[in-house]
Amino acid sequence: MLVAGNWKMFKGPSETAAFLDAFEPPTEVEVVVCPPFTSLAAAVGRGIPVYAQNVHWASEGAFTGEVSAPMLLELGVQGAIVGHSERRQYFGETDETVGMRTEHALEAGLRVIACVGESEHERERGETQDVLRRQVGVLNAHENLVVAYEPVWAIGTGKTATPEIAQEAHAFIKSLLDVPVLYGGSVKPENAEPLLAQGHVDGALVGGASLEVESFTAICETATRRFRS
């Protein structure tokens, strides 16, 4: 069971340090935080694994604004999110570049949370499985790879996939690729219990609810109960 907090473009170094000083991660489930690039150094070494929110597919080069896996590893970062829906929507991320980033990061020794998911229009047109098949198709099973199913219609909208929708999507992803699958999409303390109770849900990628110690702790405690059951 893995719970990852994606802080997106929130929390500078001082806020990051204050959060991690106040946060007590559970011991029975794995918890990681994914701060912005400028806060990675402030997060490393505070008793919890740290992931970046993106990583480039080259080790070095003329790629202004990007960060490589060796740079992250030198800093003490252990993993990275790749292919988040916001990267796809706003910054031109494609299935091909997601595959390249993922492959490079894994080869370099990072762990990866690779994100997949359909838009609301794709779901309404009955294309969910086609979209997931295409997105998962650029990935290869690896011991350090985790997939996060994040239906785009449930990212930052307040909407959440029902536990049944999550279970069905996760089962389909696992039929394509034998890796753990997290659920991501407006996960909150009040809906974490039924989502994490699903047999094919192996944890959560948490956005806004990971920004406050109390709410993130509550989700982690729910994951711990699920792990014990």
Q: Tell me the percentage of the chain whose pLDDT exceeds 70.
A: 98
List, for residues 182-198, the tens digit of each pLDDT value: 999 889 999 999 999 99
List, for residues 37-67, the tens digit of each pLDDT value: 999 999 999 999 999 999 999 999 999 999 9
Question: What radius of gyration do the chain's Cα atoms show?
Answer: 16
**CA distance to 66, 87, 168, 216, 221, per residue, from 128 (Å):** 31, 19, 11, 29, 31
Q: Treating both helix axes as pointing N-terminal to C-terminal, what angle do 128-136 and 95-108 enclose, rounded to 10 degrees?
A: 40
Q: How confident is the model at residue 227 (pLDDT cuts 50, 70, 90)?
A: confident
Residues 116 and 128: their CA atoms lie apart, in Å, by: 11
On the question of pLDDT at 154 being above 80, the answer is no
Asked if 79 and 48 count as a contact pair (C-beta separation under 8 A), the reply is: no
Asked if 123 and 153 count as a contact pair (C-beta separation under 8 A), the reply is: yes
Question: Taking all residues of the chain, what is their mean pLDDT, rounded to a whole number?
Answer: 95
Rounded average pLDDT over 192-217:
96
| pLDDT value of residue 40 | 98
On the question of pLDDT at 15 being above 90, the answer is yes
Sign of the dihedral defined by the CA atoms of residues 74, 79, 83, 85, in that order: negative
pTM of the model: 0.96
| CB-side neighbour CA atoms (13 Å) of 143 | 1
On the question of pLDDT at 213 being above 70, the answer is yes
Residues 55 and 151: their CA atoms lie apart, in Å, by: 22
Q: How confident is the model at residue 156 (pLDDT cuts 50, 70, 90)?
A: low
Rounded average pLDDT over 1-5:
97
Question: Any idea where the domains of the chain sit in the sequence?
Answer: 2-228
Q: How confident is the model at residue 134 (pLDDT cuts 50, 70, 90)?
A: very high
Q: Helix/strand/coil (H, E, C) string of the chain?
A: CEEEEECCCCCCHHHHHHHHHHCCCCCCCEEEEECCHHHHHHHCCCCCCEEECCCCCCCCCCCCCCCCHHHHHHHCCCEEEECCHHHHHHCCCCHHHHHHHHHHHHHHCCEEEEEECCCHHHHHCCCHHHHHHHHHCCCCCCCCEEEEECCHHHCCCCCCCCHHHHHHHHHHHHHHCCCCEEEECCCCHHHHHHHHCCCCCCEEEECHHHCCHHHHHHHHHHHHHHHHC
Report residue 181 as tokens.
Answer: 């699958």
Task: List the catalytic residues.
Answer: 84, 150
Q: Tell me the percentage of the chain whose pLDDT exceeds 90.
A: 89
Rounded average pLDDT over 106-119:
97
Asked if 53 and 82 count as a contact pair (C-beta separation under 8 A), the reply is: no
Rounded average pLDDT over 194-206:
96
Task: Specify the CATH superfamily of domain 2-228.
Answer: Aldolase class I (3.20.20.70)
